[in-house]
Amino acid sequence: MSPIRARKKNLRREFLAKRSEIPRNERDRISHALIKKFLATEIFRAAKIIMAYASTPDELQLNELFAACFAEEKILAIPFIVGKGEMHAVEVPNFDALELGDFNILTVKHGKFIDPAQIDCVIVPGAAFDISGGRLGLGGGYYDRFLPLAVHAKKIAFAYDFQLVDDLPLEEHDVKIDTVLTIERSICHEAL
């Protein structure tokens, strides 16, 4: 393993351990505040198709964002894993369409795939982010392969304040994001 990959692996373990220690009520409070912040942006208002991840218990919870997309009649998509390191965007017509899939992550088993080039905004998960848009992913490479296909999408992360750092080790294939929203800060490389 290269030194940069070893460093990324160690940092990922450190940030995910810290994230798992956040009490549920605190996680829910921060999730609500970040989604409220995002719903007030021009990016959300203008987007017709939004892709977001189906939250695991340790992640910031996005059900409130899903509900806002349904209420505003936006097309909502989530990842659909098709192979190692490969995913597609699948439409979520409503909460009832979600079911437990691989790795105990919610998915839509029989949904319509969405062309990544049609997506306006992708909410991107990660273990940590830096102020230049660098992202330390979860280690599977799914988003690093998918995001270059979403050529028109704004790439946004919701994060705990401790997940936003000055600098992360990055490799050539690591895709940067446009905006990181935390409770205390918003790092934007394009206007919200």
Residue type present at position 136: L
Which of the residues in the chain have pLDDT under 50? none
Give me the pLDDT at residue 2, please. 85
Torsion 136-186-177-89 (CA) sign: positive
C-alpha 61/C-alpha 44 separation (Å) is: 17
Q: What is the pLDDT of residue 100?
A: 85
Place domain 3-188 in its CATH homologous superfamily. Answer: NagB/RpiA/CoA transferase-like (3.40.50.10420)
Q: How far apart are CA 97 and CA 154, in angstroms?
A: 25
Q: What is the pLDDT of residue 190?
A: 62
Query: Residue 104 corresponds to which amino acid?
Result: N
**Residue 103 DSSP symbol:** G
118's tokens:
């049609």
Residue 74: which of 98, 96, 35, 45 has the closest Cα?
Answer: 45
Q: How far is CA 46 from the centre of its chain?
A: 19
Q: Tell me, what's the pLDDT at 105?
A: 80
What predicted TM-score, i.e. pTM, was given to this entire model? 0.94
Where do runs of H (alpha helix) occur along 88-149? 142-146
Handedness of CA 21, 169, 117, 188 (dihedral sign): positive
Domain boundaries, the chain: 3-188
The H or E element that residue 79 is part of is strand 75-83
3-state secondary structure of 88: strand
pLDDT score, position 106: 84
